[in-house]
A and B are shown apart, each in its own frame.
Chain A
Amino acid sequence: MIEIKNLTVDLGTFSLQDINLKIEPGEYFIVLGPTGSGKTILLESIAGLYPIKSGEIWLNGTEVTKVEPEKRGIGFVYQDYALFPHLSVKGNILFGLKQMKRPKGELQSTVDWIAGLLGVSHLLERKPETLSGGERQKVALARALSISPQVLLLDEPLSALDPQAREDVQHELREIHRRLETTIIHVTHDFEEAIALGDRIAVLGEGHILQIGTPEQIFRQPSSEFVARFAMARNIFSGEVHDAEEGDSILSIGDLELAVVTELRGKLHASLRPEDILISKEAVISSARNSLRGTITRIDNRGSTLYLTVSTPLDFVCLVTRRSFEELGLKAGEEVYITFKASAIHVF
């Protein structure tokens, strides 16, 4: 288990403040934040590679705040691998093992085992510069895991990879986590990656932890506009929530009134995910739903899916699959109806 208490780190232009995290043994923990939010420095602080201003770091019940990085037993993988270019793959994996002064036979068997685990056995004699991105990242993982770390820190491990290698390494990460039950802290700016891998996610922004929760919670119930934007909710409004008849709630955004499900009242924010909006050419009659008429003002083609901006005149971003887009024969400038459940709107 790893616990970070009131960590403050000075980053020159800004600082990470009062970071508190408690990561359970064997947990796959994601720190999600935009580029330049100090994610790498946060990991380096945990590993003892970056001087912290104040706070404490506890590893399995022992305070390690002042322990040197080589004595923490924390594995580290950087975004662009940071493999030792003068050593072969085997030399890279052996680096930490040699440092531990294990008997020779044990070294060989550990290298074989770890290389087999990550599927890099056939690369052992190669130099890092001859490897593909995916192979390099697997070697970097093998090297970090060779020392049987108490915690594995991953700094944007998938960001430098092309889509196919990314899927491959992502699968590898899940496998390692399942088989070795290593505690992992993985930082990324990619929301989908976070959702795909994380047991829990902490969103880092403006130097603070803004929200910690399961992927579902971050996805459905962002606690702030920042998190909602980061979770790609796309439709984020501010308005006022008040009572309607029969105990329902109404969210007023200017002249627009939307049915919402919430106990909250007053000036608030609301988010609505683009995939929760149904688009149609005819009005859909249903009391539990919000239905609005608007005009398609923008089409953002993403290949298998498309984002449509529908102006009601308030803009709503809706997600449609290519298939329904073609079946409905949608075009810019066309009048459509958008429909969504009251419960699809998350008020915060």
Chain B
Amino acid sequence: MRKMLRWVAARKLTITFFLLGLVILLFIFVPLLKMVFSSDPGILWDTLGEGEVRSAIWLTLYAALIATVVGLLLGVPLAYFLARHRFRGKRFVETLIDIPIVVPHSAAGIALLFVFGQNFFVGKAFNSVGIDFVSAVPGIVIAMLFVSVPFLINSAKNGFEKVDVRLEKVARTLGASPWQAFFRVSLPLAWRSIFSGSVMMWARGISEFGAVLILAYHPMVAPVMVYERFEEYGLDYARPVAVILILVCIVLFIALRSLAYRGEKA
């Protein structure tokens, strides 16, 4: 008994922190598990059989993927630039990048609507080449892009910052142009961070509700569908869709994370 007390006394901090940590872990896990395990598999299966549900999930995954690809094309160069240059106002730019994370996403949706709607020149310009954003897939994509691209940019920037500049310099002395040095040295070395940033971005895009709701209620993505069914028919009707969405997200996220982790060990 005394031995045990001494054991506890020596580990007061560890035990306290463990217990506090446990509370928050349970807070995350219990609602998810409860929802998944209290659903009737039969109803889940039936719900999955609905064409409407399947196409909503498919649309969500694929719009978020397009957003991530656009994020890669435009965000990675910015991340590299920020990792390699010091300039006045850099802090400001970095803060700007994080703003989509902190503004309410419904407000972000309104802001996007102003720029990409028919009344502003950007929206008009896209309209003239046949791309509309309001109530259309491109609208879903930009809503997802806006709210999720900070994750990719920040992760890629951290990745590039970890690549020693002298590796690029050595590459230059070995005959590589700045482009070749980037593609043969910096990009492969930062790739893991870029990849895990992309996974985060994709996942964040899939889960986006507020901004998508404002720009494109239809075609309907899965989070909007959960909301719609809850509003119109109640909890029981919304739950199966919610469960399926959560399961899809968890499976994808775990799979991609483990892929990123495997890259880390290799």
A interface vs B, CB < 8 Å?
A: 44, 47-49, 68-72, 74-76, 78, 82, 84-86, 95-96, 99-100, 143-144, 146-147
Tell me the smallest distance from the CB of B266 to a CB of chain A, in Å: 10
A12, B78: Cα distance in complex, Å = 26
Least Cβ–Cβ distance between B214 and chain A, in angstroms: 43
**Of the candidates B164, B176, B188, which one forms a contact with A70 in the assembled complex, judged by CB atoms under 8 Å apart?**
B176
Closest residue of chain A to B181, judged by CB?
A: A70
Contacts of A143 in B (CB 8 A): 170, 174
B167, A82: Cβ atoms closer than 8 Å: yes
Contacts of A44 in B (CB 8 A): 169
- Name A155's closest neighbour in chain B (CB-CB): B166
Residues of A within 8 A of B170 (CB): 76, 78, 82, 84, 143
A85 touches B189 (CB 8 A): yes
Report whether A76 and B189 are in contact in the complex, using a CB–CB cutoff of 8 Å: no
A147 to B173, CA, bound (A): 9
The reply to whether A70 and B184 contact each other, CB–CB distance below 8 Å, is: no
- Chain B residues within CB distance 8 Å of chain A: 164, 166-167, 169-177, 180, 184-185, 188-189
* Top 7 A-B pairs, shortest CB-CB distance: A96-B174, A99-B175, A69-B172, A76-B173, A82-B166, A49-B169, A70-B175
CB proximity of A90 to chain B, nearest CB, Å: 14
A-chain residues with CB within 8 Å of residue B185 when the two chains form the complex? 84
Residues of A within 8 A of B176 (CB): 70, 95, 99
Task: Point out the residues of chain A lying under 8 angstroms from B184, CB to CB.
Answer: 95
CB–CB A84/B167 < 8 A: yes
Question: Which A residues are CB-close (under 8 A) to B188?
Answer: 86
Residue from B164, B171, B189 in contact with A95 in the complex, judged by beta carbons closer than 8 Å: B171
Report whether A82 and B173 are in contact in the complex, using a CB–CB cutoff of 8 Å: no
Do most interface residues of chain B lie in helix, strand or loop, or is the interface mixed? Answer: helix
Bound form: Cα–Cα A84–B77 in Å:
21
Tell me which of A74, A84, A86, A100 contacts B173 (CB under 8 A).
A74
- Indicate if the CB atoms of B174 and A95 lie closer than 8 Å: yes
CB-based contact A99/B174 at 8 Å? yes
A96 to B176, CA, bound (A): 8
Chain B residues, CB < 8 A from A144: 173-174
Cα–Cα distance between A95 and B188 once the two chains are bound (Å): 14
Shortest CB-to-CB span from B213 to chain A, Å, is 43
Asked if A75 contacts B173 (CB within 8 A), the reply is yes
Cα–Cα, bound, A82→B180 (Å): 17
* A271 shortest CB reach to chain B, Å: 37
> Do residues A72 and B164 form an inter-chain contact, with CB atoms below 8 A?
no
If the complex has contacts A84-B185, A85-B189, A86-B188, are A100 and B167 also in contact, measured as CB distance less than 8 A? no
**A49-B173, A70-B175 given; 13 more Cβ-contact pairs under 8 Å:** A68-B177, A69-B172, A70-B172, A76-B173, A78-B166, A82-B169, A84-B171, A84-B185, A95-B171, A95-B176, A95-B184, A96-B174, A143-B174
Residues of A contacting B166 in the complex (Cβ-Cβ under 8 angstroms): 78, 82
From B189, which residue of chain A is reached at the shortest CB distance? Answer: A86
A146 CB contacts on chain B under 8 angstroms:
174
Of B169, B175, B177, B189, the contact of A96 (CB 8 Å cutoff):
B175
Q: Closest CB-CB distance, B129 to chain A, in whole Å?
A: 38
Choose one: B173, B180, B189; the contact of A72 (CB below 8 Å): B173
Give the docked Cα–Cα distance between A96 and B189 (Å). 18
Residues of chain B lying within 8 A (CB to CB) of residue A48: 172
CA gap between A82 and B189 in the complex, in Å: 13
Complex Cα spacing A49 to B178, Å: 11
**CB nearest to B169 among chain A residues:** A49
The chain B residue with its CB closest to the CB of A44 is B169
A74: chain B residues at CB < 8 Å are 173
